[in-house]
């Protein structure tokens, strides 16, 4: 019950972006997002990726932002991603990029979004950098898959995120697996109605493992996005039972979350990719991380008081 209340609170607070602007002016509070966000600049992100790579991890870089209101803002966001991809290539980083379509102008229309996103996809193709499309709330699921499908039809290497708590996800993953699309599977972090999404943890966990297993059997190289040791064990067991080695999939975790578990998996020979966000629009992302796992509040409190490591 407490976790449910906290989840609702943080999702509500995510809409009040002025709180984020105020907190950035206060040195004590500015330290909060640095547990989960690499910084506000591309230089900060590159430094974080270098450190992760030295520790044996891969990365996916996210230029924070969403829900732009005009084409100019969408084009600026796309230009930031092109610059990020070019920097990944120049530095020889083992990294790809993750983006949200509302940041690329999806609310302005699917055609506009495709026009804005195409230079990013082209930069990815030119430099061999995979482009991951994050999934947003269920209101965007169909349009997100439409955009991904359209760009893949043009020959771009691009893949979506699928949320395990949505009832529709088994059907979506079935189609994606048949085409061997690289999919990241996560549990889901948006507030959705019970009519379209499971709220029960057992049901969500079962869906998560089923979706990943479908992708494993299709040899689609899934991204397994979880910090839950039980889910990690279940996926590793499902792969081993099918004779699928650890090079056929990767575990993915958020920057600053379960760093101990990240190290353990790398030491065991699993592939690990860390989601590295950067930018000034950190506040909605930060609040959703707290909503996704209220225990993250403890990490934040520790960071405020100088947690090392």
Domains of the chain: 1-37+282-309 (no CATH), 41-281 (3.20.20.220)
* Nearest-angstrom CA–CA distance, 138 and 155: 26
Inform me whether the pLDDT recorded for 306 exceeds 50.
no
- Torsion 191-197-199-205 (CA) sign: negative
pLDDT score for 196: 98
Inform me whether the pLDDT recorded for 54 exceeds 80.
yes
Nearest alpha-carbon partner for 166 in 222, 134, 207, 220 = 207
pLDDT score for 123: 98
Q: Which residue is it, tokens 């002025």?
A: 18
Q: Which of 3-17, 31-45, 49-63, 179-193 has the lowest mean pLDDT?
A: 3-17
Inform me whether the pLDDT recorded for 149 exceeds 90.
yes
Inform me whether the pLDDT recorded for 156 exceeds 70.
yes
- pTM above the 0.85 mark? yes
Q: How confident is the model at residue 15 (pLDDT cuts 50, 70, 90)?
A: low
* Nearest-angstrom CA–CA distance, 188 and 190: 6
206, 165 contact by CB (below 8 A): no
Is there a catalytic annotation at residue 184?
A: yes
Half-sphere exposure of 55 (CA within 13 A, CB side): 20
Long-range contacts of 66-70 (CB under 8 A, 24+ apart): 66/100, 66/102, 66/103, 66/136, 66/281, 66/284, 67/102, 67/103, 67/107, 68/102, 68/103, 68/104, 68/105, 68/107, 68/108, 69/107, 70/108
Mean pLDDT (the chain, rounded) = 88
- What would the pLDDT profile of 251-271 be if each residue is shown by its tens digit? 999 998 889 999 999 999 999
26 or 142: which leads in pLDDT:
142
The arithmetic mean of pLDDT across residues 264-286, rounded, is 89
- What would the pLDDT profile of 221-255 be if each residue is shown by its tens digit? 999 999 999 999 999 999 999 999 999 999 999 99
Residue 240 structure tokens: 């081993």
pLDDT score for 36: 82
Of residues 184, 271, 273, 293, which has the active-site annotation? Answer: 184
Is there a catalytic annotation at residue 134?
A: yes
Of residues 134, 182, 271, 293, which has the active-site annotation? Answer: 134
């Amino acid at each position: 019950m407490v976790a449910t209340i906290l989840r609702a609170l943080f999702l509500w607070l995510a809409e009040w972006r002025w709180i984020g602007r105020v907190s950035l002016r206060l040195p004590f509070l500015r330290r909060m997002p640095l547990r989960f966000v690499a910084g506000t600049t591309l230089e900060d992100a590159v430094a974080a990726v270098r450190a992760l790579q030295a520790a044996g991890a891969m990365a996916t870089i996210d230029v924070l932002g969403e829900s732009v209101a005009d084409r100019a803002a969408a084009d600026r966001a796309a230009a930031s991603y092109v610059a990020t991809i070019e920097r990944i290539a120049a530095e020889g980083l083992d990294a790809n990029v993750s983006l949200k379509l509302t940041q690329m102008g999806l609310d302005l229309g699917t055609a506009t979004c495709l026009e804005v996103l195409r230079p990013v996809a082209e930069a990815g193709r030119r430099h061999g950098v995979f482009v991951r499309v994050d999934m947003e709330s269920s209101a965007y699921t169909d349009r997100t898959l439409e955009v991904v499908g359209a760009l893949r039809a043009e020959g771009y290497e691009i893949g979506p995120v699928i949320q395990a708590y949505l009832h529709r996800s088994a059907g979506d993953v079935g189609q994606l697996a048949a085409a061997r699309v690289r999919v990241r599977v996560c549990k889901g972090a948006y507030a959705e109605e019970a009519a379209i999404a499971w709220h029960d943890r057992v049901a969500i966990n079962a869906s998560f493992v089923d979706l990943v297993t479908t992708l494993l059997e299709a040899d689609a190289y899934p991204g397994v996005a979880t910090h839950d040791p039980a889910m990690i064990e279940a996926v590793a067991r499902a792969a081993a039972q099918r004779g699928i080695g650890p090079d056929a999939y990767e575990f993915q975790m958020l920057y600053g979350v379960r760093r101990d578990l990240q190290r353990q998996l790398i030491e065991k020979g699993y592939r690990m990719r860390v989601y590295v966000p950067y930018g000034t629009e950190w506040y909605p992302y930060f609040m959703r991380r707290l909503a996704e796992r209220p225990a993250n509040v403890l990490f934040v409190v520790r960071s405020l008081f100088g947690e090392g490591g």
